Structure 1
Amino acid sequence: MSTVIDVAKEANVAPMTVSRVVNSPEKVKPETREKVFAAMKKLHYKPNTAAKNLVTKRTGVIDIYIPAAIDLSNPFTMHFIAGISKTLSERMYSFLILRDMKAQHPCDGYIATGLLRDETLEFAHYALNDEKPLVIFGHAQIDDVDCIDVDNVQGSYMAVKRLIEAGHKHIAMVNVAEDKDYPIDRLNGYKKALLEAGLPFREDLVKYSVNSPSGGEYAALELFSGDNSLSAVFCATDTIAIGLIRQLERMGKKVPLNISVVGFDGLGHHLLSTPRITTVQQPIYEIGRMLATALLERIEGRTQRIEKLVPPVLLEEESVAERK
């Protein structure tokens, strides 16, 4: 069985450096860290995490809170967990997916997503009262709570601007009917693009639905039963866009020939539609890694608060046509 000394010789570093890589990798230069990880992998060296946790009085477990209403099999959740898992596994941490906010068991910290607006402060109090750090996928002004989010305002602005640049002047929006920050942010981005282009914002052109294909189908019926001047729709999620396009086809309206559609998420759903949906991609896997890194830094003693917005990317597909 390989030892710390074996790894140190293989990586051409001091044994103390190997120990630092195992216990506090953020304190080691990236190039040195990679050399040590490569040596550990080559020699099949596995740190004694139980002994480490006994010394540091840590459990080696992170709780990931994902509300029961969010399907664990959807692309968002899978990308989110995969990113977190990648970073935690590199640091020899395990994780537990928490579906009940009030469930209690030993852990070293929390990562939370999908919180309703009134739940964010409640969860923060719960975590901080337990003297455990918390990082949130979202944004909130709470002391000692790190927040990392997609720039939803910029993303929806990009989506609507794409439609405007294609010549569309009558653009509706289908938003998510949830009391969370991201639907508000995506509505604000929609408004921002209209205002910049000198187009009026109309409340009657904003519909709210559940985040599902059936919600998109219902929104299509609401939007296109009366106002025939509409030529484009921005959907706050790709899931809604899939249902909207499906219903438009049933109503004899072709996408993008008659109606252009842009979605939001870019996690694979947009490729399952016919036509494939032009969308705004949020880098959920990368954000999962960032959240895990931020939490581990908190556990290691960082005190400075992090609040970060990650820029999304517009993915051009087949659901937008130029308006003549």
Structure 2
Amino acid sequence: MVTLSDVAKQANVSKMTVSRVINHPEQVTTELRELVVAAMQELNYQPNAAAKALANNRSNVVKFLILEDIDTTEPYYMNLLFGIARGLDKRQYALQLITDRQKLTAGNADGYLITGARTSDFPWLDQLEKPLVLFGENRYGYDFIDTDNKLGTQMATKYALAKNYQSIIFIGIDVKEPFEYSREAGYINTLQQHAKLPRIYRLANHSRLSQQYIEEHWREFAPNTCFICASDRLAVGVVRGILHEGGAIPRDFGVIGHDGVFLDQVSNPQLTTVQQQVPELGEHLARMLLSKIAQSGAQQGELLLAPKLVTRGTTRE
């Protein structure tokens, strides 16, 4: 096994210099740094991650807190976790999953990734001292990464218009949160550009509720209508409601969901949906947090990843 001494001998420098290049590269000249790095590469030397973390007074652990109820039958969070883990692995960081906020600050961690934060959570978030990045839009100045929700519903609405659906209805999630405002804004702005009036209904995010709503209000929905839904879960319920009432999908009624992780594929017919790039979102979350840790908590800003519109059997070809 190649040691620190071997690298020092190869580069003709002291062990202290090699240690500084590994742990505090800003303290050595560019010339010395390049010399040591070249020796490390030539000898295929891999610095001990635990020792490096100790030298930097770090744990090399990131905690991921989920602040919302999750359905373990859906792979959304598994995809997100895979992306986060992939991003952390590249820097030899470990991931610890937390579901109880009271345990977030227990033990050691270099920073936090948090998802599911709502408006009522921000006073508590303000008290956290470690670097943190949120998964999901916010308007409180926290660094975050999310899907471009507004762009997603713009794409969906433009597609419905292009397929000549005359009435386009938005079925939203009944929460007063930034991601929902953005999804509604994409729909509203696109309709206004085409001189059409928005029509919005908001429900709790359960398929049985959206199915029930369609069935109870069936006479209000004329043929040649497309429903733009704020989630695949709502979209699945809309599909079931239309089929229960004898509506023809996609000839007379179209349905477009939002998420594209699992339910879109098991729906019958399969859903046209705005697909989030969930593993990539996870990897970007890891990168942003590690960058923030390395920069002693410096602000990182926001990053919105463009979704994809995946067309399937619930809209016209």
TM-score (norm 2): 0.82
**2-side partners of 1:318 and 1:20: how far apart?**
57
Q: Which residue of 2 aligns with 1:114?
A: 116
Q: Which residue of 1 aligns with 2:133?
A: 135
Tell me if the contact between 1:160 and 1:234 (Cα under 8 Å) persists in the aligned partners. Answer: yes
Q: Which residue of 2 aligns with 1:60?
A: 60
Query: 1:153: how far off?
Result: 0.8
Q: Which residue of 2 aligns with 1:240?
A: 234
1:255 to 227, 249, 253: 249
2:272 maps to 1:274: no
1:285 to 274, 279, 286: 279
**2-side partners of 1:187 and 1:211: how far apart?**
15
Residue aligned with 1:189, SS: helix
**2-side partners of 1:60 and 1:146: how far apart?**
20
TM-score (norm 1): 0.80
Tell me if the contact between 1:22 and 1:47 (Cα under 8 Å) persists in the aligned partners. Answer: no
2:152 to 155, 160, 183: 155
**2-side partners of 1:187 and 1:21: how far apart?**
49
Query: 1:5: how far off?
Result: 8.1
Residue aligned with 1:102, SS: helix
Query: 1:197: how far off?
Result: 1.0
Query: 1:224: how far off?
Result: 1.8
**2-side partners of 1:223 and 1:18: how far apart?**
70
287-296 or 15-24, larger mean C-alpha shift: 15-24
2:121 maps to 1:124: no
**2-side partners of 1:148 and 1:82: how far apart?**
16
**2-side partners of 1:151 and 1:281: how far apart?**
11
Alignment of 1:122-201 (within 5 A): 122-127=123-128, 130=129, 132-143=130-141, 145-201=142-198
Query: 1:158: how far off?
Result: 0.8
Residue aligned with 1:115, SS: coil
Distance 1:301 1:253, change over 3 A: same
Tell me which structure has the larger Cα radius of gyration.
2
Query: 1:140: how far off?
Result: 3.0
Q: Which residue of 2 aligns with 1:227?
A: 221
Tell me if the contact between 1:76 and 1:284 (Cα under 8 Å) persists in the aligned partners. Answer: yes
Distance 1:23 1:158, change over 3 A: farther
Query: 1:212: how far off?
Result: 2.8
Tell me if the contact between 2:137 and 2:146 (Cα under 8 Å) persists in the aligned partners. Answer: yes
Residue aligned with 2:64, SS: strand
Tell me if the contact between 2:224 and 2:252 (Cα under 8 Å) persists in the aligned partners. Answer: no
Identity %: 29
Structure 2 unaligned spans of 5+? 9-14, 26-33
RMSD between aligned residues: 3.2
1:265 to 254, 259, 262: 259
Q: Which residue of 1 aligns with 2:11?
A: none
Tell me if the contact between 1:68 and 1:100 (Cα under 8 Å) persists in the aligned partners. Answer: no
**1-side partners of 2:246 and 2:257: how far apart?**
21
Alignment of 1:27-46 (within 5 A): none
**2-side partners of 1:224 and 1:184: how far apart?**
26
